[in-house]
């Protein structure tokens, strides 16, 4: 701020209560009510934040449907940020499926119907030449993390157009609840390129751009307009790409990963969590990463990203690049990816089998390969059939099976079925929440391979370490830290151990994961070099906790 700029007056009275970052509701003390023109506006009772949180949680439980609970939490977030984040952090396991997947999918589908108040920025194709100007309308000047989507591939639901804004809002609430990024320093963005969803185009209440999606050079121009605006207005801000279609996700990441502080959560976050769960699973199974035979169902950007990260970890552990590639078999709707197939992307061709001419299906791949790991990112519900799973289990003592597609209605298998078909020997992680399994009379938790284990920690890491890039080495370091946190959580020595850390401990785990990524950033030259203890202290300082601050007078 220059000497000629005046400090805007702090809001008072009703305006103060309308500011979700300053509002304390019934927690304003009598002196504060007098000082800030609040007398008579809140009810007479004065509550602590803890008392408010208990009351808010009771109100949350009063709604029986997940979508109604989601709407309640969004309204609470728009009214009182500190209270919202206190409730979410104290009940993270309970709240996560409501704030994010799977309920957020329903919220995206019905975005125009349940829309209440603006949050974030909507950047339309027609305004692409004014993005820098529009970015100046952001609610808060300083931003640490942006999450942007174009709404084209929301979870497994496809094109949701402007309704995709539910994803950046939900993601950023978890950046705060888990990573501790201050809510005022987050910015959700919806890049409105139009929609090809016929139902949305015909819906008179649809709130987005009522045009078909721009493509080709026009679409690339839209992405460049966003990046240029962020570079000019918010240099050094982490830009996370979320739920972009396969045709766009990898090219965008390739184009911008070395230009600014950015990553794609579907490609890199999903991969890091899957690798973390896999490292725990092979520890439980008593095998080595370099010995795994991995079959992947689905060949989109997320699936290839998972393979890329596992392959990097394999080379770190001694395999040659060629030998690491040879540990993977990809299957899509047309069967096994082979070198003779036309139309494969450059990233897919890396994993195309040159030793096979016939493009047979998943069941035959499992029969021939005898995989130790089966990963699903296909959105093909029920694709891991009893026949396929029993075939895999017949040749593998501890089969590792990850049906990772979201939401639950698109999952490749039900964990309970996997446990039954493998006589309880399966090591499983899912994309959406799943109830515990009953194995030999014991209740076994099912790990949810949710990106929440990684992306909030990456935001915390780059903020604390002052990183300028997100590198592959940082993501692999984060994945290994996820595995270490999971191993430490199994304090009773029970088997099978949880493949991922308990969600209730994720704020503490996020600090450890962030530390690992921050150390790797320094080693990679993506951040200033610093000692581990200095970085640990920086991470702790950067992690905001929900609390009330005294409004300025």
Q: What is the mean pLDDT of residues 517-534?
A: 96
Check whether domain 268-449 has CATH 2.120.10.80, yes or no: no
CA-based nearest residue to 119, from 74, 181, 66, 176: 74
Share of the chain above pLDDT 90, in %: 88
> DSSP states of 239-300 as a string?
EEE-S--HHHHHHHHHHHTTTSSEEEIIIIIHHHHHHHHHHHHHHHHT--GGG--EEEE--S
Residue 4 has pLDDT above 50, yes or no: no
Every domain of the chain with CATH number 3.40.50.720 lies at: 268-449
Question: 24, 125, 171, 453: which is the annotated catalytic residue?
Answer: 171
Q: What pLDDT does residue 490 have?
A: 61
Query: Greater confidence, 265 or 487?
Result: 265
Every domain of the chain with CATH number 1.20.1370.30 lies at: 13-98
Q: What is the mean pLDDT of residues 397-409?
A: 92
Tokens describing residue 283 = 């520890």
Query: Greater confidence, 175 or 434?
Result: 175
Task: Determine which of 40-54, 321-335, 484-498 has the lowest per-residue pLDDT on average.
Answer: 484-498
Residue 495 has pLDDT above 70, yes or no: no
Task: Determine which of 293-307, 443-457, 465-479 has the lowest per-residue pLDDT on average.
Answer: 443-457
Residue 494 — pLDDT band, cuts 50, 70, 90?
Answer: very low
Q: What's phi and psi for 103, nearest 5 deg?
A: -65, -30
For the segment 184-237, what is each residue's pLDDT rounded down to a tens digit? 999 999 999 999 999 999 999 999 999 999 999 999 999 999 999 999 999 999
Q: What is the DSSP letter of 185?
A: G
* Residue 120, helix vs strand vs coil: coil
> DSSP states of 25-63 as a string?
GGG--HHHHHHTT-TTSS-S----HHHHHHHHHHHHHT-
Question: 24, 100, 351, 453: which is the annotated catalytic residue?
Answer: 100
Check whether domain 115-260 has CATH 3.40.50.920, yes or no: no
**Whole-number Cα distances in Å, 302 to 131, 224, 244, 347, 493:** 29, 22, 10, 11, 33
Q: What's phi and psi for 518, nearest 5 deg?
A: -65, -40
Residue 368 — pLDDT band, cuts 50, 70, 90?
Answer: very high
Check whether domain 13-98 has CATH 1.20.1370.30, yes or no: yes
Every domain of the chain with CATH number 3.40.50.10380 lies at: 115-260
Counting every residue, how long is the chain? 553
For the segment 155-192, what is each residue's pLDDT rounded down to a tens digit? 878 999 999 999 999 999 999 999 999 999 999 999 99
CA-based nearest residue to 269, from 173, 346, 345, 171: 171
Residue 356 has pLDDT above 60, yes or no: yes
Residue 5 CA to residue 68 CA, distance in Å, equals 44
Q: What pLDDT does residue 143 have?
A: 98
Known catalytic membership, residue 65: no
Known catalytic membership, residue 171: yes
| H/E run at residue 247 | helix 246-256
């Amino acid at each position: 701020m220059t000497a000629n700029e005046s400090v805007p007056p702090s809001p008072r009275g009703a305006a103060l209560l309308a500011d979700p970052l300053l509002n304390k509701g019934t927690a304003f003390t009598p002196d504060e009510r007098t000082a800030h023109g609040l007398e008579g506006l809140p009810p007479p009772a004065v509550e602590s934040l803890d008392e408010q949180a208990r009351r808010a949680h009771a109100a949350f439980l009063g709604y029986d449907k997940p979508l109604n609970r989601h709407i309640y939490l969004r309204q609470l977030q728009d009214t009182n940020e500190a209270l919202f984040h206190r409730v979410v952090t104290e009940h993270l396991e309970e709240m996560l499926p409501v704030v994010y997947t799977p309920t957020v999918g329903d919220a995206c589908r019905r975005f125009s119907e349940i829309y209440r108040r603006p949050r974030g920025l909507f950047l339309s194709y027609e305004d692409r030449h004014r993005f820098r100007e529009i970015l100046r309308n952001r609610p808060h000047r300083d931003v640490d993390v942006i999450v942007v989507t174009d709404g084209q591939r929301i979870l497994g639901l496809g094109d949701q157009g402007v309704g995709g804004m539910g994803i950046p809002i939900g993601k950023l609430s978890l950046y705060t609840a888990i990573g501790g990024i201050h809510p005022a320093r987050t910015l959700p963005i919806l890049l409105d390129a139009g929609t090809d969803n016929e139902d949305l185009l015909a819906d008179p209440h649809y709130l987005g751009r009522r045009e078909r999606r721009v493509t080709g050079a026009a679409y690339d121009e839209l992405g460049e307009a966003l990046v240029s605006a962020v570079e000019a207005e918010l240099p050094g801000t982490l830009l996370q790409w979320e739920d972009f279609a396969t045709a766009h996700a990898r090219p965008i990441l390739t184009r911008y990963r070395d230009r600014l502080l950015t990553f794609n959560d579907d490609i890199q976050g999903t991969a890091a969590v899957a690798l973390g769960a896999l490292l725990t699973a092979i520890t439980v199974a008593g095998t080595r990463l370099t010995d795994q035979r991995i079959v992947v169902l689905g060949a989109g950007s997320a699936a290839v990203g998972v393979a890329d990260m596992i392959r990097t970890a394999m080379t770190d552990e001694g395999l040659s690049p060629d030998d690491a590639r040879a540990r993977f078999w990809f299957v899509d709707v047309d069967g096994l990816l082979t070198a003779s197939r036309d139309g494969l992307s450059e990233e897919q061709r890396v994993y195309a089998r040159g030793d096979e001419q016939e493009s047979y299906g998943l069941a035959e791949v499992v029969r021939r390969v005898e995989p130790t790991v089966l990963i699903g990112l296909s959105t093909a519900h029920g694709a891991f059939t009893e026949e396929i799973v029993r075939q895999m289990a017949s040749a593998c003592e501890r089969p590792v099976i990850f049906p990772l597609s979201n939401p639950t209605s698109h999952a490749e298998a039900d964990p309970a079925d996997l446990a039954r078909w493998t006589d309880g020997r399966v090591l499983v992680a899912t994309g959406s929440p799943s109830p515990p399994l009953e194995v030999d009379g014991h209740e076994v938790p099912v790990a949810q391979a949710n990106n929440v284990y990684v992306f909030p920690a990456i935001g915390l890491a780059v903020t604390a370490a002052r990183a300028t890039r997100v590198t592959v080495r940082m993501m692999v370091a984060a994945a290994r830290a996820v595995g270490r946190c999971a191993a430490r959580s199994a304090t009773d020595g029970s088997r099978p151990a949880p493949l991922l850390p308990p969600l209730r401990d994720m704020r503490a785990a996020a600090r450890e994961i962030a530390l690992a990524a921050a150390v790797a950033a320094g080693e990679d030259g993506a951040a200033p070099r610093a000692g581990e203890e200095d970085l640990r202290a920086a991470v702790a300082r950067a992690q905001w906790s929900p609390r009330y601050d005294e409004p300025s007078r």
